[in-house]
Amino acid sequence: MIEGAKAFIDVKDAAIAWGFRVKPDQAGSGVQRAKLEVIEEEKTIIQGLNFEIKDSGLLVIVGSVGSGKTTLLHAIMVESKLCTGTCSVQGTVAYVEQEPFIISGSIRDNILFGKPYDDALFARCLEASCLS
């Protein structure tokens, strides 16, 4: 959290899903696909989540591999799908991933994740990630 910033996160009765899945490569190894296929999916990863965080200098989320830590953080940043319940964030929240999540495909595929292409937004993403 940025020093001096006040954040408030409130999650009630939340069920969270990634909201998508990448269709497996059916072409075989070494063959490039013409287009990455991202399929919308609502399989919940976390259910019955309730918590609130008030102005705190440090929050640590721990758990075993596959327990939902990253999914929780992505839900707070509205990068995963909230299937039921509420998740509200007030203030400034920042997250820097230790290892990047990259799918097999082009840079464009990794930025869009199946969403419609918007030239201005795509240019801003390239600039923000120092890829322009």
Model pLDDT, residue 119: 92
CATH code of 8-101, in short, is 3.40.50.300
Domain locations along the chain: 8-101, 102-132
What is the mean predicted confidence (pLDDT) over 78-95?
83
CA 127 to chain centre: 19
Report helix, strand or coil for 102: coil
DSSP per residue, 20-87: EEEPP--S-TT---SS--EEE---EEEEEEEEEE-S-S-------TTSSHHHHHHHHTT-SEEEEEEE
Segment of 9-23, 34-48, 94-108, 116-130 carrying the highest mean pLDDT: 116-130
DSSP state of 93: -
Model pLDDT, residue 2: 46
At 116, the pLDDT band (50, 70, 90 cuts) reads confident
Quote the pTM value.
0.54
Length of the chain: 132
- Is the confidence at residue 26, as pLDDT, over 90? no
